[in-house]
Copies of this chain bind each other. A is one copy, B any other.
Amino acid sequence: MADNEKPQGKPPAAEKKGEKEGSKAGKQAVKIPKGTRDWVGADIQVRDKIFKAAGEVFARHGAVQLDTPVFELKHILAGKYGEDSKLIYDLADQGGEMCALRYDLTVPFARWLGMTNTQSIKRYQIAKVYRRDQPAVARGRMREFYQCDFDIAGEYDTMIPDAEILRIIVDVFEAVGLGKDVTIKINHRKILDGLFAVAGVPADKVRTISSAVDKLDKLPWEEVKKEMMEKGLESGVADEIGEFTKHSGSLKKIIDLLKASEKMMANESVKKGVEEMDLLLSYLEAFEIPDRVTFDLALARGLDYYTGVIFEALIELPPNSSSESRIGSIAAGGRYDNLVGMYGRRQIPCVGVSFGVDRIFTILKQRHEDEKQRAKGVDVYVMAFGGKNGLLKERMAVASELWKAGISAEFSAKVKPKLPQQFKAAETGGVPLSIILGEDELAAGKVRVKTLGLADDHPEKEGRLVDRADMVEEVKRQLSEGQSEA
């Protein structure tokens, strides 16, 4: 599933020519393309934590990983994204096949299912996708950004995979430490479609009215109603939609509310949807997560291809947070039973979810930014005090021994570095431990192992002089003590 990042629908205007193209004539600026970023340092550690947590949850549910090319044949992407197709990045025509960068991970998955004639699979993919949208870096809208998709494809009994997807959403947010902050809204396309029909929306206006309803989380009712009327609805019809879509609550509450309406239940589509939601509720109980899900009749979701359950995971920020940092949807998805048939010989029903990695990243980073992060993961800095030729080869041999023992280690790549420079390098890198070599000590077969940054009155402030043969053990000991103190 692919659309938790809602595109703006506007392709960027041609960018201004000559805009800061380097200070000197003839020399072009060293820049990164607009709407893209480099990932490095602490950011990549937070990002990898999300990937690892999600990947472990998916594997626990029996999913396999799929990695597709960054570009697809252009005709594979054509006609899948409605008016947002203009945001697709095309490759230049250089005399071969016509290709375009992937816009989401759903279409490549459907293409792969069709090509391989796979009948059923749980698959996940974590990868970058591309949208030639107007970038808004501060608000997290990028042209290159990560998606993390999990989908279950195959002919199964009603609502069983759908319930498992919801359980996976709960599991992933718990694994990244956001379990308590996330609410999952859910609705059913059949109920929504039936509701529109009962209210009197003409069949050919259902999708466009649905996308107006989808704005209810951002706009006041009056504005949404105005949009509906501009789209051709009568005031009374709009009001009836408004009357129903204002309801949300536990699955049981909303199911009971719908069941109590004879007018609604007389509609076949609503009736079917309610039966399915009833079944879903019983499965969510078996999975112990009914209280994690809210039934919201105003949830509509933009994409056309949903055919059943739709859902969206939202994170609620404290009310005093600035509008700049307010973040809504961080995962979204639903059931789409008719997409794969566009690529293969037969339909394969699917249900899936897409996690908004960049948004989850932004939230986790905000939370951890006060925590002191080690700049990198090196455990030991090997240094020398005096000695002929800076004891370089001895430092190398010690580092070599640590590497062999699986311990990360660095040393100054200078022949004769000064001792304060070596301490400074260790400090800058946040390295917790040093090994200090001296000519006399080495002659006696000894090295000093010293935890850095200890208080002046700490009994091990000066480190420990140990036999060269005991060095690796002593390093491990001091490292594990340092961890338990931290």
Residues of A within 8 A of B (CB): 11-15, 28, 30-34, 36-41, 44, 48, 59-73, 75-76, 89-97, 99, 101, 111-112, 114-115, 123, 128, 130, 132, 144, 152, 154, 156-157, 160-161, 163-164, 167, 171, 282-283, 285-288, 343-344, 376-378, 392-394, 396-397, 400, 403, 406-410, 413-415, 429
Distance (whole angstroms) from the CB of A261 to the closest CB of chain B: 28
Considering the chains assembled together, what is the distance between the CA atoms of A403 and B393 in angstroms? 51
Closest chain B residue, CB of each to CB of A390: B157
Task: List the B side residues contacting A286 at CB < 8 Å.
Answer: 392-394, 396-397, 400
10 more A-B residue pairs beyond the given contacts A59-B408, A286-B394, with a C-beta to C-beta distance below 8 A: A32-B69, A40-B64, A62-B376, A64-B376, A70-B128, A157-B414, A160-B392, A161-B413, A167-B403, A287-B397
Task: List the B side residues contacting A415 at CB < 8 Å.
Answer: 157, 160
Considering the chains assembled together, what is the distance between the CA atoms of A392 and B39 in angstroms? 44
Given A160-B392, A160-B413, CB of A34 within 8 Å of CB of B96:
yes
Give the residue of B38, B67, B400 whose beta carbon is less than 8 angstroms from that of A67.
B38
Is there contact, CB below 8 Å, between A396 and B14? no
Is there contact, CB below 8 Å, between A408 and B60? yes
Is there contact, CB below 8 Å, between A96 and B66? no
Task: List the B side residues contacting A283 at CB < 8 Å.
Answer: 392-393, 396
Is there contact, CB below 8 Å, between A71 and B33? yes
Task: List the B side residues contacting A171 at CB < 8 Å.
Answer: 403
Task: List the B side residues contacting A73 at CB < 8 Å.
Answer: 28, 31-33
Is there contact, CB below 8 Å, between A132 and B96? yes
Give the residue of B14, B156, B410 whose beta carbon is less than 8 angstroms from that of A414.
B156
Considering the chains assembled together, what is the distance between the CA atoms of A27 and B90 in angstroms? 21
Of A114, A396, A403, A409, most buried by chain B (CB within 10 Å of CB) is: A396
Is there contact, CB below 8 Å, between B144 and A393? no
Give the residue of B63, B66, B410 whose beta carbon is less than 8 angstroms from that of A38.
B66
Give the residue of B11, B28, B70, B114 whose beta carbon is less than 8 angstroms from that of A94.
B11
Is there contact, CB below 8 Å, between A62 and B378? yes
Task: List the B side residues contacting A34 at CB < 8 Å.
Answer: 96-97
Is there contact, CB below 8 Å, between A61 and B408? yes
Is there contact, CB below 8 Å, between A92 and B93? yes
Give the residue of B15, B66, B69 whose beta carbon is less than 8 angstroms from that of A144.
B69
Can you list 30 A-B pairs, Cβ within 8 angstroms, ordered by A? A11-B95, A13-B95, A14-B96, A15-B95, A15-B96, A15-B97, A28-B73, A28-B75, A31-B76, A32-B72, A32-B115, A36-B71, A39-B65, A44-B64, A59-B377, A59-B408, A60-B406, A60-B407, A61-B408, A62-B409, A62-B410, A64-B376, A92-B93, A160-B413, A167-B403, A283-B393, A285-B393, A286-B394, A286-B396, A286-B397
